Structures are given as C-alpha cells and as structure tokens.
Amino acid sequence: MSYKNTLQKVDTEKALSLIGIEYQTQGAYVKFPCPNCKEQAVIKAYGDKKNLYYCPRCKVSGHIISLVMKVLGTDWNNANKLLIKAEATTKRIANELTMKYELQYHHFLESQGISEKTCRDLEIGVPKGKTMLAGCIAFAVHDEEGRKIAYYGIRIKDLKPVFHKSFNPELYVFNFFNVDSKEPVYFSSNMFECIKNIEQGRQCMSNFGLPYLSRFQLDLLRYYEKIVFLVDESLVKPFAVQMAESQMNYYRFEN
C-alpha cells in the first residue's frame, strides 16, 4: 500500500492509542504531546490532510508513519505493519445482524430528554451483561434498506464512541432508511440531538458524531432536496464548505 493510502485509511485515534500516546480530540483535530518538544502538537483526523501533524511550538511536522517511527524508534516497514492494525474498514456490512442486545433504559437518556418509549421503538439503551458496549448507550444501526447491521455505542462516562471494527460510521447515515424525502429532512451530528428530534416528530438523521461528512454520507444526502442542519456552531463552517464543494441541493443551518 502506498503511504498516501495509509494516511487516508488509518484511524488517527486508534493509531495514537496503539503507540501509547495520550490525546484529546477537538473537532477534526487531535491534540497530543509533540514527539520533539513535548508541547501540544495537532494532527488532523479527517479530510485531505488526514494524519499529518504539526507542532506550533517547535514547528516540527510529519505524518502518522514518521510519528510511529519516532515514538517507537522503529523503521518505515515496521511502522506501516503496525498501522495496519489501526485501519478503519472500507467494507460495508453485507449481512443483517442477528445478535440482539437486551437493552435497558438509563437515566442518562432521560437527562438528554429522550423517553423510554422512543428508546424501545428505535432500539436504544444500555446492553445488559458483559458485552463490548457495557457502560455505553447502544444505538441499533440500519443500512439504507432497513436491515440492522450493527450497534453504535457512546460510553456514558466520557461520551467516547465505541463500536465493532467491522463497522465504519463513515459508510452509513443513521436513520436514513426511515426518512421520507417528500417531508422536511433534518440532520444532526449529535446522536442524542438526533433522537430528540425524532421524538419530537421530525425526520432526523445523523453521521454518528463525526465532525465532517464522509464522501459516502454526502452521496446519500443528495437524495434530499432540502436539508436542515442542526449542528454546533463550530461545525457550521466546515459543513457548509463541504456541502458547497460537492454542489449539494438546498440546505440551511438552524440552532
């Protein structure tokens, strides 16, 4: 695989975890200690400059492969081999998920203004027992045909996303299958906001909290003539740029 391919495919957060670097995410950026001066450096987790980093303090820059080499003191080949473990899948899930969690309503959902009935209807809740989504709010995810293909989780204690490696949120739009293009369509990047809007009778979709729209998601949004975006102020500009660049239909932002 070419190194540019690696930069596009590797999940930045997974890669940093893999080499034992502590980080903080902020929108499309991830902050971590600079390998040179230990001050805060930034690496881009999405888009064109994905997996390129820069330290504003000492001006050192590089990409995720050179970062791994530096941090682990290893060579190019070994760094690449290691990074394969941090790749996000580019495959869509072909089969319907037969596994079903026993989901419980949780006071966190109540605090978000989401009712027990909505959770039952949409298959949302905290899974019972020992599962990879223990301690998470799990959301059943369906493909465009309405087949359940995965669960997406948000950990209650820190709101970090948790999901199986076979599922890549870039390849789906949450609740797309339920939305009628003849009615007004809403879109929120926040999963809880999305559910709250559905509860209020709006047709709402979400991109699983990603701070950008993937190519695939942009393509799916073309099905709708008009879309209202309910996103944080910090995301208005990046989303508007993406929508304009891909020459999308009529859309507007609402707070």
Query: Binding residues for Zn ion, per CB under 5 A?
Result: 34, 36-37, 55, 57-58, 60
Least distance (Å) from Zn ion to the CB of residue 39? Answer: 5
CB nearer Zn ion, residue 64 or residue 231? 64
Q: How far apart are CA 199 and CA 186, in angstroms?
A: 13
Least distance (Å) from Zn ion to the CB of residue 96? Answer: 48
Query: 31 with 42: CB under 8 angstroms?
Result: yes
Least distance (Å) from Zn ion to the CB of residue 126? Answer: 41
CB nearer Zn ion, residue 21 or residue 97? 21
Torsional sign, CA 83, 86, 91, 94: positive
Within the chain, residue ranges assigned H as helices are: 3-9, 12-18, 64-72, 76-83, 107-111, 116-122, 191-199, 215-221, 233-245
- Token reading at 2: 């070419």
Least distance (Å) from Zn ion to the CB of residue 94? Answer: 45
Q: What share of the chain is helix, strand, coil (3-state, %, to 5)?
A: 30, 25, 45
Between the alpha carbon of residue 132 and those of residues 127, 129, 154, 161, the distances in Å are 9, 10, 11, 12
CB nearer Zn ion, residue 26 or residue 246? 26
Closest CA to 248 of 224, 231, 216, 229: 224
Closest CA to 199 of 116, 105, 108: 116
CB nearer Zn ion, residue 58 or residue 159? 58
Least distance (Å) from Zn ion to the CB of residue 18? Answer: 21
CB nearer Zn ion, residue 19 or residue 194? 19
Least distance (Å) from Zn ion to the CB of residue 34? Answer: 3
CB nearer Zn ion, residue 58 or residue 72? 58
